Chains A and B, each alone.
Chain A
Amino acid sequence: MSELVAGAPLGNDPAAAVAQHMVALRRYARSLVRNSAEADDLVQECITRAIARLRVWHEVRDLRAYLFTILNNVHLDSIAQRKRAGNVVPLDEAVKNLSSRPNQLARIEANELAEALERIPEEQRRVVLLVGIGGMKYHEIAKMLGIPIGTVMSRLSRGRETLRKMLAGEDFPKLKRADG
Chain B
Amino acid sequence: MAEPIYDLPTAEELHAYVDGALPAERASRVEAYLARRPDLAARVEEYRRQDARLRTTFDPARPDLLPPELDELAGKLSRNLVRHNRIRGAARYAAMALLCITAAAVGRWSADYEGGSDSTVLAQSRFAADAYRVVTAHQGQGSLLDASANPAELSDWLGDGDSKVHIPRLQLLGYRQIGGQVLPTGAGPAVQLVYNDEKKGPFSLYVARSPDCMRTTPRYTRDGDLSLMSWCRNRAVFMLIGKLDRTAMLWIADAVSQPDAQPGEAAQGESAQGESARGEAAPAAAEPETKPSVNRAVAH
- Contact between chains at A150 and B292 (CB < 8 Å): yes
- Contact between chains at A146 and B274 (CB < 8 Å): yes
Cα distance A113–B174 in the bound complex, in angstroms = 42
A interface footprint on B250-264 (CB within 8 Å = 1, 0 otherwise): 000000000000000
- Contact between chains at A18 and B77 (CB < 8 Å): yes
Total number of A residues with any Cβ neighbor in B under 8 Å: 72
Question: Is the C-beta of B101 less than 8 angstroms from some C-beta in chain A?
Answer: no
* Residues of the B chain whose Cβ atoms lie less than 8 Å from the Cβ of A99: 58-61
* Residues of the A chain whose Cβ atoms lie less than 8 Å from the Cβ of B294: 150, 153
Name which residue of chain A comes closest to B91, CB basis. A56
- Contact between chains at B176 and A61 (CB < 8 Å): yes
- Contact between chains at A139 and B57 (CB < 8 Å): no
Question: Is the C-beta of B290 less than 8 angstroms from some C-beta in chain A?
Answer: yes
* Residues of the B chain whose Cβ atoms lie less than 8 Å from the Cβ of A10: 81, 85
Tell me which of A82-90, A161-169, A172-180 binds B: A161-169
Cα distance A91–B298 in the bound complex, in angstroms = 36
Cα distance A55–B300 in the bound complex, in angstroms = 26
Total number of B residues with any Cβ neighbor in A under 8 Å: 70
Where chain B touches its partner, the secondary structure class is helix
- Contact between chains at B50 and A151 (CB < 8 Å): no
Enumerate chain A interface residues (CB-CB to B < 8 A): 1-4, 7, 10-11, 14-15, 17-19, 22-23, 26-28, 30-31, 36, 40, 43-44, 47-48, 50-51, 54, 56-57, 59-61, 63, 76, 98-100, 109-110, 113-114, 123, 128-129, 131-133, 137-139, 142-143, 145-151, 153-158, 160-161, 163-164, 167-168
Q: A15-B75, A23-B59 are known contacts; what are 14 more A-B pairs with Cβ within 8 Å? A: A1-B147, A7-B176, A18-B81, A51-B73, A59-B174, A98-B58, A100-B61, A137-B21, A142-B272, A146-B278, A147-B280, A148-B283, A148-B290, A160-B47
Q: What 3 pairs across the A-B complex have the smallest Cβ distances?
A: A146-B277, A1-B147, A14-B81
Enumerate chain B interface residues (CB-CB to A < 8 A): 11-12, 14-16, 19, 21, 43, 46-47, 50-51, 53-55, 57-61, 63-64, 66-67, 69-70, 73-78, 80-82, 84-85, 87-88, 91, 142, 147, 174, 176-179, 196, 198, 270-272, 274-278, 280, 283-284, 287, 289-292, 294-295, 298-300
24 A-B pairs with C-beta separation under 8 A: A3-B176, A10-B85, A15-B78, A17-B78, A22-B66, A27-B58, A47-B77, A56-B84, A59-B174, A76-B278, A99-B60, A114-B57, A131-B19, A132-B50, A132-B55, A145-B277, A146-B276, A148-B283, A150-B290, A153-B295, A154-B12, A154-B287, A157-B14, A164-B47
